[in-house]
């Protein structure tokens, strides 16, 4: 099942993509795709609905983040050995954990905005995990029981802020628009093997990142289990699981985003994002 939220920013409605790729409205069934809707019982009820019976949405509306009221936006760093190598860093022995600000959340095709004074804004295509049930001290074997689905995340990062301005990584990760999520939230039964998904990212039509989740250092199950030992995971939390090689910082010469660039990125079975890079402007 592919769940979406569509419409103007702040006015999104819940929907789903049917088997023919058509957008269907869910607002007559649920209020939103939130913690209540992500609960295992709620997802099972949605799955049983005849999707063709739902109202068809005409046109091509904007997609927003595919879940409402994200609680925590947790990220795992250097989770692909080849990405760690291009960064000149050893593969971590335990997951590297940092947070993105909730205010960084962005629709999958909304513009990515360069912060004021940005010199080194970079891209990172990542598999996102969406938590569907409260998780504390869960085992790797049981981790799947707490996952509502998966999505595409672009962990946009300002490398100067992240690495050259002191302190933790967070301030290079949490700028406005630095967290595009979506287009869809795909429930686990629609994914054959989450540890065998192709990822890609193109900049101005040129392939920059090519990877597969099979090369993750820490698997989805390991990440969920590990995090649940340090914090309670709540329904609606999003976990970005790391990026494959090909980021701008790792290229020779380095290449960072500038106004007018276009990004296209996606994960097999989870959909695609397309975004334009724009200069900073104040929110309305």
Residue 274 lies in a domain: yes
264: enclosing H helix or E strand? strand 262-267
Mean pLDDT for back-to-back runs of 10 residues, the chain (284 residues): 97 96 97 96 94 95 97 96 81 95 98 96 98 98 98 97 88 96 97 97 98 96 98 98 95 96 98 97 75
Residue 143 lies in a domain: yes
Owning domain of residue 175: 69-278
pLDDT, position 281: 83
Contacts of 189 (CB under 8 A, 6+ apart): 1, 47
Largest CA distance in the chain: 55
**Distance between CA atoms of residues 168 and 179, nearest Å:** 18
**Distance between CA atoms of residues 56 and 64, nearest Å:** 18
Residue 259 lies in a domain: yes
The runs of H, that is alpha helices, within the chain are 35-38, 40-48, 81-86, 159-163, 220-227
Is residue 262 within 8 Å of 276, Cβ to Cβ? yes
Beta bridge partners of 5: 14
Predicted TM-score of the model (pTM): 0.96
Is residue 171 within 8 Å of 162, Cβ to Cβ? yes
Tokens 């990125």 correspond to 265
Output the domain CATH number for residue 91.
3.90.850.10
Residue 238 lies in a domain: yes
Residue 254 lies in a domain: yes
Count the domains in the chain.
1
């Amino acid at each position: 099942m592919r769940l979406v939220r569509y419409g103007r920013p702040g006015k999104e409605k819940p929907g789903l993509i049917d088997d023919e790729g058509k957008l269907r409205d869910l607002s007559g069934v649920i209020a939103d795709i939130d913690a209540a809707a992500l609960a295992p019982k709620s997802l099972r009820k949605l799955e049983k609905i005849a999707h063709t019976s739902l109202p068809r949405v005409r046109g091509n509306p904007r997609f927003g983040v595919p879940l409402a009221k994200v609680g925590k936006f947790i990220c795992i760093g250097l989770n692909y050995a080849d990405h760690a190598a291009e960064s000149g860093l050893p593969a971590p022995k335990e997951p590297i954990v940092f947070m993105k600000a909730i205010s960084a959340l962005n629709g999958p095709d909304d513009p990515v905005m360069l912060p004021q004074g940005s010199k080194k804004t970079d891209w990172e295509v990542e598999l996102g995990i969406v938590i569907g049930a409260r998780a504390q001290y869960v085992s790797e074997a049981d981790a799947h029981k707490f996952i509502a689905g998966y999505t595409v995340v672009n962990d946009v990062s300002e490398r100067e802020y992240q690495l050259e301005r002191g302190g933790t990584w967070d301030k290079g990760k949490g700028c406005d628009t630095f967290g595009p999520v979506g287009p869809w939230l795909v429930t686990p039964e629609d994914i054959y093997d989450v540890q065998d998904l192709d990822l890609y990212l193109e900049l101005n039509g040129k392939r920059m990142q090519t990877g597969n989740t099979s090369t993750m250092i820490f698997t989805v199950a390991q990440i969920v289990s590990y995090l649940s030992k340090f914090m309670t995971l709540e329904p609606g939390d999003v976990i970005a699981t790391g990026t494959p090689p090909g980021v701008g910082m790792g290229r020779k010469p380095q290449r960072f985003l500038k106004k007018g660039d276009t990004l296209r990125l996606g994960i097999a079975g989870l959909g695609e994002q397309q975004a334009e890079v724009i200069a900073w402007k104040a929110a309305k």
